[in-house]
Amino acid sequence: MKLYKKGNPLVSIVLPTYNRAELIERALESVLIQTFQDFELIVVDDGSRDNTCSILQKYIRDHNNIRYVKQQNMKLSLALNTGIQLSAGSYIAFINSDDVIKPDHLEKRVHFMQQNSDVDLIHGGVTIVGSPFVKDKNDITKLIHLDQCVMGATFFGKKTVFTKLNGFKEMEYSEDSDFFERAQKRFKTQKVSFPTYIYYRNTEDSITNNI
């Protein structure tokens, strides 16, 4: 089904958000200045109670490739799945509402996937702002370096990977590692090194800081 007059975009970017009115514009602006422009941005508002909706209105008005949906609060995994279900692109990418991507983020990932057509899903390529340690999903009393983790926000893959795996499972923590473990069993995955995703660890009420 075509949603756009000029045909569907190559990439769908899913941006889940919850009460991030003070930060979401930073994320949005980083998406809009991408050197690769054949994308749509799907903002999934997971029941925000702040003025996120009003902030989004001007972006929706000025950019016909931004789609906004607000749902009742169902937590991150289900918000991500909503975006996946709504996506029109051949590839799916993600960005957290308190992070940013460098201008060549999409360009580098699209180029890599086109040059390596046998690869289904890539991850990695991140610059960390703040502490590089998070709680270990296997024992949350311990810390683990992010270099040893997969980060869902850096996932970039063929849409079929996400649909065939039925998206992310509903979990309190580390839904991305669970997804990646399932993906590895059925698809070809690869880690990339170009650090174009900027991950802010200093957001006080983030999931990783409050688990």
Task: Provide the residue ranges of all domains of the chain, joining segments of one domain with +.
Answer: 11-210
pLDDT tens sequence across 152-208: 999 999 999 999 999 999 977 679 999 999 999 999 999 999 999 999 986 655 544
Q: Please, what is the end-to-end C-alpha distance for the chain in angstroms? A: 40
Tens digits of per-residue pLDDT, 26-85?
Answer: 999 999 999 999 999 999 999 999 999 999 999 999 999 999 999 999 999 999 999 999
The 3-class secondary structure across the chain, one letter per residue, is CCCCCCCCCCEEEEEEECCCCCCHHHHHHHHHCCCCCCEEEEEEECCCCCCHHHHHHHHHHHCCCEEEEECCCCHHHHHHHHHHHHCCCCEEEECCCCCEECCCHHHHHHHHHHHCCCCCEEEEEEEEECCCEEEECCEEEEEEEHHHCCCHHHCEEEHHHHHHCCCCCCCCCCHHHHHHHHHHHHCCEEEEEEEEEEEECCCCCCHHHHC
Complete edge-to-edge strand list for the sheet that includes strand 11-17: 66-70, 39-45, 11-17, 91-94, 156-158, 121-129, 189-200, 100-101
Q: What is the mean pLDDT of the chain?
A: 90
Residue type, 182: R
Q: What is the pTM of this model?
A: 0.91
Asked if 176 and 139 touch (Cβ cutoff 8 Å), the reply is no
Beta bridge partners of 67: 42
Write the single-letter amino acid at 4. Answer: Y
Superfamily of domain 11-210: Spore Coat Polysaccharide Biosynthesis Protein SpsA; Chain A (3.90.550.10)
Of 210 and 113, which is predicted with more confidence? 113
Please check whether residue 47 is in contact with residue 78, taking contact to mean a CB–CB distance below 8 angstroms: no
pLDDT band at residue 210 using 50, 70 and 90 as cut-offs = very low
Give the C-alpha separation, 143 to 181, whole Å: 20
Strand partners, 16: 44
For residues 134-144, average pLDDT: 61
